[in-house]
Structure 1
Amino acid sequence: MKVHVSELIRLVLRRYKPLRLSSRIWRPGTDAHGVIVEALKGRVSQGDIVVVSEKALAVARGLVFDESLIKVSRLVSSLWSMWMRMIWGRLLARLCSLKPWTTRWLRSYPVDEGGRHKQLAMRLGGPLEALKPSSEAGIDGSNLPGHLVALPIPRPDLEAEVIRLKIKRHLGLDVTVVVSDSDRLYLHRGLNLALASRKAKVKRTIYLGFLAFILGRALKSRFTPLATPLGVSGTPPPFYVLLGMVELADRLRGYGAGRTVFEMAERFNTDLGGVTWAMLDSIKHYPVVLFRSRSSRAKPPSAANSS
């Protein structure tokens, strides 16, 4: 089966009606599971699928770290800067057909902040993760204040299971829960498999770290880039439906305050560490996307004002 993003999304929309659920940004200590249950009341039905952002869950659990605390030698920072500016910004940017904005960002990669970020990525994911141009080891600094970054959830599949059981206990409904990340995997258009740049508890994915990014982008006529399903609990949808679903959820969420810390700083007219929680509170966030089955017999009440 040769698949493109538009075909996958159409496949999903034939079976499900998506509904993004708005929320203020989840801070550390937020009862994310309770918030999810409350948001689903009156909207969810038996057999629906709930897609939740791993990043939002990680922040709510307190899996955040202040990168300004990391100590890195000037030599190490300079080597990372050279890797990003020269190797990615010039050689691999052409090979992978990166967008002009991305290329400009890579060629101006910050020495000190970048060195600290790469050091943390090495500790968490090793070289296969740290050598990526972005989203290294599942670390994400977007939509967080100061120099905070969100760390990856150790077992997204278990997180999905806990959420599913809580929904069943409080709402009495069996649903499927998917924890997803905007980091790209690359679906081969002729084979029934995908190359993942992050480890995922999903069948038919092969983890290759930064090599998945290079292969998927360099051979873009053979691969389709999609968001990554990290963990599934409940009855999993078919492989292509699952991939189309997490990609559509990622698009419906948008970028919040920005795709990167650089976009955030530009949006709020501040420096890289100047973004605050108050600034982020001014932006709508959509950590949960509900996919309501079109074949559900029970029709939940209208949720037109949910977003």
Structure 2
Amino acid sequence: MPIVWGYILGPLCGMQRILIQRLRRYPREEGSRHKQVAIQYAGLMQALMFGSEGGIDGSNLPYSYVSLPLQNADAIAERIRMEIKRILGKNVAVMIVDTDSTFSFRGFHFTYRPNPIKGIYSSKTFLAYVLGRMFKMKRRATPIALKGCRLQVEEALRIAEFANKVRGSGAGKTVWDMVESYNVGLTDVTWEMLEKSRHKPIVIVRKKRSNIA
């Protein structure tokens, strides 16, 4: 990991210098445990990513906890939609978005993240990330579920990216950002620290006169 991403793929992908330096200092013990989880839940080809392997995410979580990828995002989105209708009497569309990038080349959209919405091709390997970054393709957050309406893929991607920017990154975009913001060790972030961070995991988007508002 430190050699391949820190010295070869990181520079090829045009990563920021600070991220490359962090990858070169990738912690062996904690990193090994994390990669074991990634292999178990996302598979080897996803585990070769430098982070967010198959939707596994450690940011905005304490200690060495990670969130695992949703097993059935469509069913979860539909359940949320129906609960909103039952409680509030409102018909809404629900989109679940992952910050992992979808790259676009003309009319073709692809991602390394497994199980995006229909119309986005998933390679299920880190190679899609490398290709998209090397050729500086347009990248946006990835919608992984959409219930309650039909959208063209391009519009779904625009909404996903808009919501992603509005939502912000909470305690930090990455685990490294998070621990630096609290000035603690890699596994020393606590629930109490995170409770003080402003985090908006839900964004309400309304379409008005063909513009996102």
Instruction: Settle same-fold status: TM greater than 0.5.
Output: yes
Instruction: For 1:97-136, list aligned pairs within 5 A.
Output: 97-136=14-53
SS at match of 2:202: strand
- TM (norm. structure 2) is 0.93
Q: Give the counterpart of 1:244 among 149, 158, 162.
A: 158
Q: Distance in 2 between matches of 1:172 and 1:230?
A: 25
TM superposition shift of 1:87 = 1.1
2:130 maps to which residue? 214
Q: Give the counterpart of 1:149 among 56, 63, 66.
A: 66
* Structure 1 unpaired stretches of 5+: 1-83, 297-307
* Structure 2 unpaired stretches of 5+: none
Q: Give the counterpart of 1:260 among 174, 178, 183.
A: 174
4+ aligned runs moved over 4 Å, structure 1? none
SS at match of 2:173: coil
Instruction: For 1:1-307, list aligned pairs within 5 A.
Output: 84-188=1-105, 190=106, 192-208=107-123, 209-220=125-136, 223-294=137-208
Q: What code does the residue aligned with 1:240 have?
A: E
Does the CA-based 8 Å contact 2:46-2:126 persist in structure 1? yes
Larger Rg: 1
TM superposition shift of 1:224 = 0.9
1:244-276 Cα shifts (integer Å, max 9, x gaps): 111111111111111222222111121111111
Q: What code does the residue aligned with 1:171 have?
A: L
SS at match of 1:291: coil
Q: What code does the residue aligned with 1:214 have?
A: V
Does the CA-based 8 Å contact 2:58-2:174 persist in structure 1? yes
TM superposition shift of 1:203 = 1.8
Q: Distance in 2 between matches of 1:206 and 1:195?
A: 4
Percent identity, aligned pairs only?
Answer: 40
Q: What code does the residue aligned with 2:129 have?
A: F
Does the CA-based 8 Å contact 1:157-1:201 persist in structure 2? no
TM superposition shift of 1:201 = 4.2
The alignment's C-alpha RMSD in Å is 1.4
TM superposition shift of 1:295 = 5.0
Does the CA-based 8 Å contact 1:185-1:212 persist in structure 2? no
SS at match of 1:186: strand
Larger RCO, structures 1/2 (Cα 8 Å, 6+ apart): 1
Q: What code does the residue aligned with 1:123 have?
A: Q
TM superposition shift of 1:284 = 1.2
Does the CA-based 8 Å contact 1:156-1:179 persist in structure 2? yes
